[in-house]
Chains A and B, each alone.
Chain A
Amino acid sequence: MNEVKHRKLKISVLRYNPQDPESVPHMQTYELEEADGMTLFIALNEIREKLDPSLQFDYVCRAGICGSCAMLVNGRPALTCRQLTKDLGDEFTLAPLPVFELIGDLSVNTGKWMRGMSERLETWVHAKEQEIDLRRIEEPMDPELAEKLYEVDRCIECGCCVAGCGTARMREDFVGAVGLNKIARFKIDPRDTRSDDDFYELVGDDDGVFGCMSLLGCHDVCPKQLPLQTQIAYVRRKMVAMAFS
């Protein structure tokens, strides 16, 4: 392999530690030599190891699976563990996702937000019976439907769609595309006994589908390429029908 000359990267990070009364939000720039195959996961860990042990950020799977590591890269929400530095310029900025509670630097509390959303929207199958006879053969399901369910079940609750959403920035309790997508997911699941009325109760207001301005800031930033546009339109159609019925 040829010895290539590596770039010097200038990474500017929005730093702020709300736990520390002395801390004020400010940009801090780190200079780092790029390496082959370097991702932001590798770059930030190198910064932490060599330049600044106090820098806060969250990685778990480092494989684009768990949804922990979303940040604003040059202002745009993205999963950073699979962001190769070679696809970025020599200088770029990193900032924490907006909307979510800031823990410190690049770390935000998406978990708390998502649990709140799940509690409000009751994002689980409301089955007919609490207990089933586990010894019996399972209920059949149409194979295509199972595939369709999985397509929208792929959401990793990374928060990119929420961070990219104008309504979510203004309305604290707006459920976001992530929430509307889940409503659509449970609505098409035959195991869930909830009626359109029940779903209307959950999202038939301005914190739900009627708060959505359909500008689709969410759709383009979803790292799992979920069909958010279609999903939101589907929920809206159903809920508008309910509103007039």
Chain B
Amino acid sequence: MRVIYTDVLVIGAGLAGQRVAIAAKRRGHDTIILSLVPPKRSHSAAAMGGMQASLANVIKGQGDNEDIHFGDTVRGSDWGADQDVVRMFVNTSPKAVRELAAWGVPWSRVRKGDRQVIINGEKVTITERDEAHGLLAQRDFGGTKKWRTCYVSDGTGHSMLFVVSDHVIAEGIPVHERTEALALIHDGSRCHGAVVRNLITGELVAYIAKATTIATGGAGRVYRVTTNAVICEGTGMALALETGAAALGNMEAVQFHPTPIFPAAILLTEGARGDGGLLRDVDGHRFMPDYEPEKKELASRDVVSRRIEEHIRKGKGARSRFGEHVWLDITLLGEHHIKHNLREVYEIAKYFNGVDPVKEWIPIRPGQHYTMGGIRTKPTGESPTLKGLFAAGEAACWDMHGFNRLGGNSVAETVVAGMIVGEFVADFCDRTENDLDVSTGLIREFVAREQAKIDDLLHGKGTEDATRLRSRMQDLMTDKVGIFRTGAELESAVAELEELLKKSRNLGVRSKSTGSNPELVTAYRTQKMLKVALAIAYGALTRTESRGAHFRVDHPRRDDAQWLKRTLATWKDETASLPTLEYEQLDVKKMELPPGWRGYGAKDYIDHPDTSKRQAEVDEIRTKMEGADRFAVQDALMPYEHLLPERLRGRNERIDERLPL
């Protein structure tokens, strides 16, 4: 049995995992990163749009600050987010984007003087300030009051990921590529590391660490139609779930993006509509104004996705061999704009559909895009129920997105969480009481258990075919646990998923190679994915309200009285076919921004009994402190700065908010 000892084990080499590793290493802790693929291939590379940070450099971002970013994020979350965490996030995001600028990310910069932009389909001239020249530029994104999204042309995630990955190399942090964590090693209350499979040789190795961080990204591939990469299978979340001790939070909160290309589901950026693109149906009719007369194509992601599906259900979808879809028409933007400002859209349409968007409409249909739920942690990133286990990035639920995350808030979250959680991981390792203390017996037991599972798949009597189970799961998730959800459909989905899970305990594989063996990998991952799928579907069935991206046709209202709480799913009994659901109440009495109307979408919700009282308190504090600086008001409403690691505290400088020298 091979055992590797380290201070910090990070599972996942996307933006979040690598930033955690850098923080821990800089504090003097030996750190090893695991990844299924070379770090620069992680799915963080696919983010094109940008990263939200309230720098307020561009003229359309003037006046932006942490307070406005906070409000946008909480409203976006439909009040599902933890407001302390959102505060920590919005205060750190400007620091994160500036750190990346110093490290070498070629952020797009402001050019002083006049420029033409398209707002609401009309050409407008805006003038950038002299003093902003050369500073980081921001663009417009859905759900934000100010232009706040920093970007690198059309390759934000790519450039961020390359800079952070190269920084990992500069710090001399080893990345064990083509390895896969199969199980966490733990004793029910303390996590000691993971059993890891080498995907080339098949060897199982135990990695023992003081602190283990899961940063394995999203779970999009439990759906058939998803913008996520093929490795976004949610198995990292399953690692936590299978401990029986750690919980997954709000797994039913799944975001669908309106405009992935059809049928490959590769994302076409929101910019296509932002710049004036239109949605058309089978008859060529522009249908969005019929549903959303005000915002039309530019309503929020969940709303547009729902309208498209609604229209298709009415029989208005265009039909093709692969099913129904609608059209995205950007021909009106003209060749120059398409080939320069929307280069990625142009290339994807050309390479994948053979469509020339300068002349032709592009087939699109909504698809799964983002996993708001994940491994439940405290604001430090540590699991409240399994000591020594941390999580960060899309795999985590610390919980800054609640039931809907804003575009641009996710790559921002990865690096911000990496900075914050990385410091807490280092603090944890600094404390002598957390020194390595694990029996070899426990390690042996966990390795033997994983080996037995693999041997059973290779040489057991199992007859079920993992590919078939998986594709049935993906169909169920897309068809019944998708954009529109009903009790009846969810119930049948849960029942069938349970059957699939039971069948997955009887899998067999045809190729017997113990080394690199794609069929074997599909088999054991499918077992894990089914548990994650059940956490999503069962959570959605039980939550009898609509909130953010979770939309129940049979319960269309947000119900704060019953449901202002976070779902916690655990899998206590290995032989069970369902997770155990518990709920964690959100405390209205502590909220800086008590629940209300989001400012878009339905205005129809049921209040929590504490809301009006808290709102009155907040109003009173605000009135009393009128004229006081915004930091003092914020501190009076909901103090949070003590939650941040010391070195990340402090105000952020802006052109209009200078810090003393």
Residues of A within 8 A of B (CB): 1, 17, 19-20, 36-37, 39, 48-49, 53-56, 58-68, 82, 84, 86, 103-104, 107, 109-112, 114-115, 118-119, 122-125, 127, 132, 134-143, 146-147, 149-150, 153-154, 156-157, 189, 191-192
Contact = CB atoms under 8 A, between A and B. Distances in A.
B45 interface: yes
A191 B650 CA distance: 25
A161 to B, nearest CB: 16
B351 A150 contact: no
A103 B200 contact: yes
Given A140-B135, A150-B152, A134 B659 contact: no
A123 B518 CA distance: 33
B167 interface: yes
Contact of A114 (B40, B266, B353): B40
Contact of B510 (A53, A65, A84, A136): A53
Contacts of A53: 509-511, 518-519
A27 B104 CA distance: 45
B652 to A, nearest CB: 6
Contacts of A149: 106
Nearest to A23: B513
Interface stretch (B316-324, B378-386, B567-575): B316-324
A154 B162 CA distance: 10
B107 interface: yes
B170 interface: yes
B109 A68 contact: no
A67 B41 contact: yes
A123 B169 contact: yes
Nearest to A112: B177
A135 B46 contact: no
B557 interface: no
A137 B351 contact: no
B263 interface: yes
Interface string B464-476: 0001000000000
Contacts of B321: 1, 36
B628 interface: no
18 contacts: A19-B515, A37-B264, A39-B352, A53-B511, A54-B518, A56-B516, A63-B46, A64-B347, A66-B40, A109-B178, A110-B38, A125-B102, A135-B659, A136-B653, A137-B654, A153-B155, A153-B162, A192-B104
Nearest to B37: A60
A95 B42 CA distance: 24
B582 interface: no
**Looking at chain B, what size class is its interface with the partner chain?**
35 or more
Nearest to B171: A124
Given A37-B263, A143-B108, A147-B108, A66 B103 contact: no
Contacts, number: 206
A65 B519 contact: no
Interface string B166-209: 11011000010110000000000000000000001100000000
Contacts of B348: 63-64
Contacts of B655: 137
Contact of A146 (B97, B106, B353): B106
Contact of A124 (B104, B264, B513): B104
B354 A82 contact: no
Contacts of A122: 170
B60 interface: no
B651 interface: yes
A48 B320 CA distance: 26
Contact of A153 (B95, B106, B263): B106
Nearest to B655: A137
Contacts of A191: 102, 104
Interface of B: 37-43, 45-46, 95, 97-99, 101-104, 106-111, 133-137, 152-153, 155, 158-159, 162-163, 166-167, 169-170, 175, 177-178, 200-201, 229-231, 263-264, 266-267, 319-322, 347-348, 351-354, 467, 509-511, 513, 515-519, 648, 650-655, 659
A140 B134 contact: yes
Nearest to B159: A153
A157 B159 CA distance: 12
B37 A150 contact: no
Nearest to B355: A37
A100 to B, nearest CB: 11
Contact of B102 (A36, A139, A140, A146): A139
Given A53-B509, A110-B38, A82 B98 contact: no
A115 B517 contact: no
Contacts of B648: 134
B104 A189 contact: yes
A17 B201 CA distance: 11
A20 B106 CA distance: 45
B158 A154 contact: yes
Given A141-B109, A142-B134, A150 B229 contact: no
Contact of A82 (B101, B351, B651, B652): B351
Contacts of B201: 19
Nearest to A87: B354
A66 B37 CA distance: 10
Contact of B230 (A60, A110, A112, A192): A60
- What 4 A-B pairs have minimum CB-CB distances, sorted nearest first? A111-B38, A140-B134, A125-B104, A134-B95
Contacts of A125: 102-104, 163
Nearest to B107: A146
A63 B659 CA distance: 44
A38 to B, nearest CB: 10
A141 B134 contact: yes
B166 A135 contact: no
B370 to A, nearest CB: 16
